[in-house]
Structure 1
Amino acid sequence: MSSSILTDSWNAVSKHQGHEPVTIIEGHPKYNFIVFVGSPVIASDLQQENHLVYASETSNLQFLCSNTHPSSSINPTAFSLFNSLHDKVKTSSEPETSSSSANKKKKPIPYIITGRGLNGSIASLFTLWLLNTLDLTKFKLRCITFGSPLLGDAALQQAVSSHPTWNSCFLHVVHKGDCVPRLSPVPPYKPFGTFLLYSESGDEYLEDPESLMKQHIHENLEAVAENKKSQTFDYKYDLERVEKKLLERDYEAGITVQVAAAGRQQQNEGFSAMTESIVEHEHDIIKQQREEFDPDEELSERKVYLALMERYMKKCRANGEGPGYYDSFKNAREQRDNGVDKYKTYLTNYWENVVDDARKKPPTWGAPLRHRLLFAGTSYRRIVEPLDIAEYYRRGRKDYLTRGRSKHYEQLEKWLEDHSKKEEKDRPSEPKGENLTEDSCFWAHVEEATRSCRLLDRASSEQEKLTKFEEYAMDLIKKQKVSSDIFLEKSSYMQWWREYEEILKKKVEEGSQPRPSELVNYMRDCCYENYG
């Protein structure tokens, strides 16, 4: 609000009224404009309460539908106009990336997508399409609308609001004297983004849909339809006033004034209660936004905790004699084990949020995580999941893979597999030797194999499980996809191997097995040579 971005946007809209449906204004020192003009507002077009159309009905907007939001619906008039303009908009208005090294060093110039009334609704749809299409590390997008009606239903609201980077791109400016924003019937229309509501009496930012609906921005539809001034409302004067004033106004007083400006009088019954409710709710929203999860900003901090975990791993090796960090954490007998739970909790909370946020993205986004996050998540999974496994079996449980594994580990592993299939050349380097065991569930397999050894006399089916584990372990060892930690003398794997070797020796002596297994022979001949 300390800049002139709102007045600049309104001037761009005013300047190009009556021109082609889409206009780009080049040469502004701070930003480029994509202006939507030329589509008049007709009240009947925006009051089709029972005729919303599904975003899935066009390939241009299918990205608004996902597993969590499968049925986003949009006003049919805005929907139709966007589809009719889409190809032209795409070729004439889509931001382009320069390949010159000089431009790569410069910060990207923001693009402001704007429009008033119904054109603002089209601008919102185009912005959503750009957010889905462009690499947002190279472009900055903002959508500023003036007096625009609400665009879609609760499912659309949820689809947009579930992505902070999407939702924060939208600012909708609405004056009480402009009746067009109140043409959308409630229900089913719902708001998304941030709203700047103002009148001659006061102004207020509202970033939460519930607070917005409490402000009664929707009025009697018959009265709205009769108001001819709504088509020509001029925002310029009030925008200049708001820009000068807004930073100085008192927060709670501003809400109180705006509630009054929205049509309620202070003597009306329930006024104080409603004002108090809005103030409290908005404070909660602001607090939540201050704590908003941003994976990129928090990744560097979480790397510190991952480095502390790696230091813990080295301490547990104890010059090649210690049990390794898996068994050390499982037994939790040393001072070095103190504090590891804290690091594990911080890292797990962060990556659960990353995965949850990425899962909400529509499937047409392609890769749910950028390479940087995907590879960092792989390192996290291979370091931290063994600790979850250790804790699981320390409590006497069994069948971690089917009963105890967190869904976010499964999702990170699946995304890595998908990425490896699609982009072989960009695969992360395979962990070898003293690095990380590639399969983060390795120790769960070891625990189950140990259990099978102890049940072997009572259940012949356990031999089949042990044979499968032999093949699994043999494959990892031959390909050097296990950490040298597993061969430490006191590790659970070495304990299993010794126990299993004795079982096989006994079977050879009894004549029930003609020779030791390939794994036992390989372990004897090669493992210390390969892993030292």
Structure 2
Amino acid sequence: MTTERRNLGVVTGMIMGEDLIQRACSLAINAHTAGRTYTLERQAYSSQVFFAFSGSWSVDDWFAQKSFGDSKVDLTLFPSLRSIGNDETAIVNRSFLRRFETVLRTTQFPKEVEKAVAENKQIVFTGHSSGGAVAVLATIWILENYRPEEKHNPTPPLCLTFGSPLVGDRVFGHALRRENWSRHFVHFVNRYDVVPRILLAPLPSIQRLLQTILNFFNPKSKYFHYEPLGKSLEATEFFGTVMTNALSVASHSACSFMGCTNLLLETVTSFVDLSPYRPCGTYIFCAGNKKLVALKNPDAVLQLMFYSLQLSPELEENIAEVAYKSLEGHLIYEAELQGSLAIQDAVDLDNLEKLPLSSEGAGSDLMRSIDIALNDLGLSARARLCLCAAGELEKQKLRNQAKIEGNRSKIEEGLKMLKGYRAKCEVRELGYYDAFKLQKDTEDFHANVKRLDLAGMWDEIVEMLKRYELPDNFEARKEWVELGTRFRRLVEPLDIANYYRHLKNEDTGPYMKRARPKRYRYTQRWLEHANRKEAGYYSESYLWARVEELCMATESKPLEEVKLMVSELEALILRGLEIGQIRRDVFLEKTTFVKWWKKHDPLFRSEAPTIAALMDGKARELPPVD
């Protein structure tokens, strides 16, 4: 078991000493107090540049219209914040996003970042309260625009937040982990700070009270740190409402990753408005006794956010005191960290599935130290069980990946067999696509069996991806992107041939509109994302679907519409030539494409000069199938 006391820099995987953390915290709180959009600290002989973002005390800067103030992220600004295969766009807090967009549009921030990158400085983004949310978006922005792997800025940025609310949904966190960006984010959370939990409650449930509570945190308000307000009925009601909603979210999440099949779980979500926001990055929980607990697993962090803020027995009779403690906890980060960082170690919770469920289960010294840390956070046996289940879910994803890896050699063998089949088809002067479509030889039958076998293995992968049952980085792994690309380019033409051989288009419609399997959509998106290309850039594998639709359109659609389709096919072939994926066998004399062109050549030559040149003999210069 690797759970142990370790230096915070080791825990997070970043160069992060006590001085850096304390400086970031101080700057974040000062920026918050000053109320400026952000403050910049650049010291002449320092290797770091700090950007500290201010938060806001206005309700509109926390919730924008909808219950949770959420909206889809702007993919032109953050193109990586999506699920690649599932093509889901991440959800973010609209108010936080709007504030960051204002920073980009109205300040010198982009130029200051560019200057720091040019000087090879480490950029540290920091923020307290909702300023931390803006710092998160700023960090993602620099990771999108100055990618360390492309050597724009070999010194990776760091984001440190203190008492930050949540920013994005599950897809948001999934995307950061897929890109290996999650390691750049470290969030410090005081055990009794209610602010990181606020966005787990819908606005209608807290709207009447939220501005009052924000005034408690506002240094410019007469109610700043005002104890009577902190112990008032409004504060008590606010705390209770937030925690009730946190319970709903944590319980629903726990039931999901524990594999609960009760239909009531789905029914609940139809009438209970659950928050979409989820944690991402490394969380450092300050237990309140100079002890720190570090955790990366997002499902476990969500559980800890709820269970660590439960009432201790001595406080159960005084809910007003707890409400005040939950507000005060948001204002004491500097003092709390000063004591904790002097020790400079943290209990790093890893291998969660092996956590002791009680003190009796902590047999070794290591287990006893872990048990003490869990007790410091007030975690019950139920809470520990939820953490264990979250860890087990992550292990199950790794087991699923291992199963898929076990099929990899079978996939390689199948692709090798089909590659040989394609080469033989060229020798037959018929072409890969048309030979398979005709199904006249035994080799065509064997190729079909192999096609179905490979499709089954890839469909299993796709189903796991749809349910997020594989590690987040799976779709970004170079070896699988390359294997998926080879599979798509080799097997999709056979699927298209089979589709039109059996006239499935007459019932289902064109292949591209209704019938293209997800196994090809997913793998195409993988390559486009890996090479940072727009959607549809790698469309060469469905060339034959375009040809088939063109053949049918010629007999049934107006000439102008067919000419437009020819122009689109010309563009597809130009792109295919550009990336080296149009081979000589496409232009063999007996292929469907060549027969159609020769019949209609005079009508479409002007719309497709490249196709015309290839048909006139230039195709002989293309490479043969390999």
Match of 2:139 in 1: 127
Paired letter, 1:223:
K
**Structure with max Cα Rg:** 1
Query: Take 2:21 and 2:409, find their aligned partners in 1: how far apart are those partners?
Result: 43
Contact 1:33 1:111 in 2 (8 A): yes
Q: CA deviation at 1:490?
A: 6.0
Q: CA deviation at 1:276?
A: 1.5
TM-superposition CA deviations, 1:471-508 (whole Å, max 9, x none)? 949x96999976432455665557x66xx99xx9xxxx
Label 1:197 to 1:344 Cα distance change in 2 as closer, same or farther (>3 A): same
Q: CA deviation at 1:167?
A: 4.1
Query: Take 2:144 and 2:565, find their aligned partners in 1: how far apart are those partners?
Result: 44
Q: Is 1:312 the counterpart of 2:409 in the alignment? A: no
Match of 2:184 in 1: 169
TM-superposition CA deviations, 1:99-150 (whole Å, max 9, x none)? 9xxxxxxxx8864434555654443232133234333533454544354231
Query: Take 1:275 and 1:98, find their aligned partners in 2: how far apart are those partners?
Result: 47
User: Aligned runs of 1:166-205 on 2, under 5 Å?
Assistant: 166-176=181-191, 179=193, 184=198, 186-188=200-202, 190-193=277-280, 194-199=282-287, 200=289, 203-205=293-295
Query: Take 2:562 and 2:524, find their aligned partners in 1: how far apart are those partners?
Result: 25
Q: Is 1:12 the counterpart of 2:20 in the alignment? A: yes
Alignment partner of 1:393 out of 500, 506, 528: 500
User: Aligned runs of 1:195-344 on 2, under 5 Å?
Assistant: 195-199=283-287, 200=289, 203-209=293-299, 210-217=302-309, 220-226=322-328, 230-235=332-337, 238-239=340-341, 241=343, 243=345, 246=348, 251-253=354-356, 258-264=373-379, 271-285=380-394, 287-288=396-397, 308=416, 311-312=419-420, 314-317=422-425, 320-321=427-428, 323-330=430-437, 331=439, 333-334=442-443, 337=447, 339-341=450-452
TM-superposition CA deviations, 1:251-298 (whole Å, max 9, x none)? 51377655533335xxxxxx43332222112321355479799xxxxx
Query: Take 1:226 and 1:394, find their aligned partners in 2: how far apart are those partners?
Result: 71
Contact 2:126 2:132 in 1 (8 A): yes
Label 1:58 to 1:285 Cα distance change in 2 as closer, same or farther (>3 A): closer
Query: Take 1:289 and 1:111, find their aligned partners in 2: how far apart are those partners?
Result: 33
TM-superposition CA deviations, 1:74-96 (whole Å, max 9, x none)? 469x9489849972443334465
Structure-2-length-normalised TM-score: 0.51
Contact 2:430 2:589 in 1 (8 A): yes
Match of 2:40 in 1: 22
Label 1:126 to 1:281 Cα distance change in 2 as closer, same or farther (>3 A): same
Match of 2:547 in 1: 445
- Figure out how many residues of one structure are paired with residues of the other and give that number: 446
Unaligned runs of 5+ in 1: 100-107, 265-270, 294-299, 358-368, 429-436, 454-460, 505-515
Contact 1:174 1:198 in 2 (8 A): yes
State the secondary structure of the residue aligned to 1:203. Answer: strand
Q: CA deviation at 1:205?
A: 1.1
* Larger RCO of the pair (alpha carbons < 8 Å, separation 6+): 2
TM-superposition CA deviations, 1:339-371 (whole Å, max 9, x none)? 4555567778889999999xxxxxxxxxxx9xx
Q: CA deviation at 1:172?
A: 1.3
Alignment partner of 1:484 out of 558, 567, 584: 584
Contact 2:128 2:161 in 1 (8 A): yes
Contact 1:174 1:195 in 2 (8 A): yes
Contact 1:113 1:144 in 2 (8 A): yes
Match of 2:63 in 1: 52
Q: CA deviation at 1:23?
A: 1.9
Q: CA deviation at 1:302?
A: 13
Structure-1-length-normalised TM-score: 0.58
Query: Take 2:190 and 2:346, find their aligned partners in 1: how far apart are those partners?
Result: 17
State the secondary structure of the residue aligned to 2:125. Answer: strand
Query: Take 1:246 and 1:258, find their aligned partners in 2: how far apart are those partners?
Result: 10
State the secondary structure of the residue aligned to 1:149. Answer: coil
- % identical equivalent positions: 15
TM-superposition CA deviations, 1:203-239 (whole Å, max 9, x none)? 3414225434443448844333356972542425534
Query: Take 1:11 and 1:231, find their aligned partners in 2: how far apart are those partners?
Result: 15
Query: Take 1:301 and 1:213, find their aligned partners in 2: how far apart are those partners?
Result: 43
